[in-house]
Structure 1
Amino acid sequence: MTRLRIALANIEIPENPEDSVVRAERAVTSAAAAGARVVCFPEAYVPGYPWPPRSRKAVSADFLEAAHERMARAARESRIHVVLGTERYVSDKPRLTALVLRPDGGRAGCQDKVQLDPEEDSLYEAGSDRRIFDVDGFRFGIAICHEGFRYPETVRWAVSNGAQLVFLPHYSEAEPGAFQPTEFADPRNSFHEKAFLCRAAENNCYVAAVNCASPGSPTTSAIIRPDGTLLSHQPYGKPGLLVCDIDPAEATPLLAQRLRTYS
């Protein structure tokens, strides 16, 4: 299998739901122009993650459906796979999800966030299933933010079921007085970027973590090799696409498949 070019949309936090769609459409076009076969967005990029101080009113199912159709058109026009951090309704309460779009604009499916952060319980409904997706014969899974950081089994499941890459879309913005890193996985920073490295090394898979660009951001977008070393990362707070070629042959399920469970 030849190398696969992926893009992470490390772009600005949207001002409002409509702005999120416009920015996402532009990023899809730019990723395709850079030669990427797939572009991944941060958690809930469309319509925007509703976290203080950027709280927003819940958007309707109709708005989300229209936004998803616009993104499907963008994928079709640019002939690129899209992993869109978004929301969807299954009941009367929304779910955080990643919508996967094919280059023909068709919907390959969704990976809902199964392990919610406790502070999300009042806003969202948890999903229940996990899925594997395909890009030109290259298989990937998705673990969304909290579940990828704190629940290693979410990544282990994907790799055990054939994934060579796991996308980790997340949302993280600087808090007042918090440490502001300039170097990846700085020991003075929180554990989150170290978790990127661990999820890759313990499963022999690529991990592609994507965050928004914002001043003082505590995490950035990064691609980790299957041996747990950093392949590439976006400068902190700098908007743009992180584009990188990965070699599927380097990703094996060896360590993931050797896990033994105990009763």
Structure 2
Amino acid sequence: MGVQHPKYKVAVVQAAPVWLDLDATVDKTIGLIKEAANAGAKLIAFPEAFIPGYPWYIWMGAPAWAIGRGFVQRYFDNSLSYDSAQAEKLRDAVRSAGITAVLGLSERSGGSLYLAQWLIGPDGETIAKRRKLRPTHAERTVFGDGDGSDLAVHARPDIGRLGALCCWEHLQPLSKYAMYAQDEQVHVAAWPSFSLYDPFAHALGAEVNNAASKVYAVEGSCFVLGPCATVSQAMIDEICDTPDKNQLLHAGGGHAVIYGPDGSSLAEKLPQDQEGLLCADIDLGMIGVAKNAADPAGHYSRPDVTRLLFNNKPSRRVEHFSLPIDTEAVVEVAAAK
């Protein structure tokens, strides 16, 4: 009797958030989770910073303009804290749906924000909270850094070895190799939208960045789920307050994809301005065939020539410690009393 490899349906989100409205976007997220579960999916993947939406204003003008328009304060106030009522509502929804969800969000922790992905299991428990290792370019005016512990793959009995990265983390060869080396089988490649600076910034467009997702699938011999948000006209109306800004950001930009470990497309793309779910049936047995040809961290590697130095320990900004106690001095003081 042959080995039975996990086979199941996955769902990838292509939709616009209710921009800078935490409660409304949480409700929309829950609706998409229910829709995926009703379609028979065991795993759903959300775009980068879907909650409460990507901060497009950082690419539109000076920081003083963004502050004056109120975007900076609103973005902070509508970002999601892990111990909040909204976060618990999301975990309850995932539990009720009996599905695994990889959420994309702006995570608020203390006075800082992070580009985060939360992996929530079908029991509503947190599998992992990861943060983008290094926000990209203008994103560093909003978000802090993750650390080496955020490059992790998680074994799940129902869906295999699951990992996730955000956006241009997929252009970092060493970070990718750290994931491949953990025998990743299903990867969530979360993207915000591909309508910024279109058409004069080719590197930010769908062709380049979907290629990065496809190459990740082939390099890692894994399935890649590529959720991608859309930009709504309501977002354009609010952010683009001058004619020149209307040339920098456009409505649409949705190019969600699902790739197999051979790089093949497993789902027909939606129109770039349409919201919905891409679904596909995946068979983890395909991975063994792909890795037979080229296992990047196994038989196809040359560790005698090149190796990765990988610090996967959490970064601690404060270390708590106590001074050593001189027990003999304590005894002498007590005796003197």
Task: Using structure 2 for the length normalisation, give the TM-score.
Answer: 0.69
Q: Which residue of 2 aligns with 1:71?
A: 90
SS for the counterpart of 1:198 is helix
| Alignment coverage as a number of residue pairs | 256
Within 5 A, what are the aligned runs for 1:78-93? 78-90=97-109, 92-93=111-112
SS at match of 2:128: strand
Secondary structure of the residue that 1:109 maps to in structure 2? strand
Q: Are residues 1:202 and 2:219 paired?
A: yes
Q: Which residue of 1 aligns with 2:296?
A: 256
Candidates 142, 146, 169, aligned match of 1:147:
169
Within the alignment, does 1:47 sit opposite 2:52 as a pair? yes
Is 1:191 matched with 2:213?
no
In structure 1, how many angstroms separate the alpha carbons of the residues matched to 2:146 and 2:214? Answer: 26
Q: C-alpha offsets along residues 184-225 of structure 1, whole Å, 9 cap, x if unaligned?
A: xxxx96411111211111221111111113476445110111
Partners of 2:195 and 2:210 lie apart in 1 by 14
- Give deviations 1:88-114, integer Å, cap 9, x for gaps: 245531111111111111111112111
Say whether 1:34 aligns with 2:39: yes
SS at match of 1:57: helix
Deviation at 1:165, TM superposition (A): 1.4
Return closer, same or farther for 1:243/1:62 CA change in 2, 3 Å cut-off.
closer
Q: Within 2, Cα distance between the matches of 1:189 and 1:63?
A: 31
Q: How does 1:1-263 map to 2 (within 5 A)?
A: 1-15=5-19, 16-52=21-57, 55=71, 56-59=74-77, 65-90=84-109, 92-128=111-147, 129=149, 130-135=151-156, 136-148=158-170, 150-175=171-196, 178=199, 190-214=207-231, 217-218=252-253, 220-235=255-270, 236-252=272-288, 253=291, 254-257=294-297, 258-260=300-302, 262=306
Quote the offset at 1:162 in angstroms: 1.9
Which of 1 and 2 has greater Rg?
Answer: 2
The 3-state SS of whatever aligns with 1:98 is strand
Structure number with higher strand proportion: 1
TM-score calculated relative to the size of structure 1: 0.87
> In 2, distance between residues paired with 1:189 and 1:105?
33
* Counterparts of 1:239 and 1:159, CA distance in 2: 31
Which has the larger displacement, 213-222 or 63-72?
A: 213-222
- Which amino acid letter does the alignment assign opposite residue 296 of structure 2? A
Question: What CA distance in whole angstroms lies between the structure 2 residues aligned with 1:126 and 1:48?
Answer: 19
Amino acid corresponding to residue 226 of structure 2 in structure 1:
A
CA contact (8 A) 1:192 1:219 kept: no
Identity of aligned residues (%): 23
- What is the Cα deviation at residue 2 of structure 1? 3.1
Give the 3-state SS of the residue equivalent to 1:26 in structure 2: helix
In structure 1, how many angstroms separate the alpha carbons of the residues matched to 2:37 and 2:206?
33
CA deviations on 1:110-156 (whole Å, 9 max, x unpaired) are 121113202111211110121212441511110111111x1133333
* CA distance, structure 1, for counterparts of residue 78 and residue 25 of structure 2: 15
Q: Is the contact between residue 193 and residue 229 of structure 2 (CA under 8 Å) also seen in structure 1?
A: yes
After TM superposition, the structure 1 stretch with the greater mean CA deviation from structure 2, 151-160 or 240-249, is 151-160
Structure 1: 5+ residue runs without aligned partners?
A: 180-187
Summarize the Cα distance change of 1:61–1:43 in structure 2 as closer, same or farther, 3 Å threshold: closer
Which structure has the highest helix share of the two? Answer: 2
CA distance in 1, matches of 2:186, 2:11: 13
Q: Is the 8 A contact 2:118 2:126 kept in 1?
A: yes
Distance 2:33 2:80 in 1: 22
Using the TM superposition, name which of 81-90 and 201-210 deviates more. 81-90
Instruction: Give the unaligned 5+ runs of structure 2.
Output: 61-65, 232-249, 308-337
SS at match of 2:48: coil
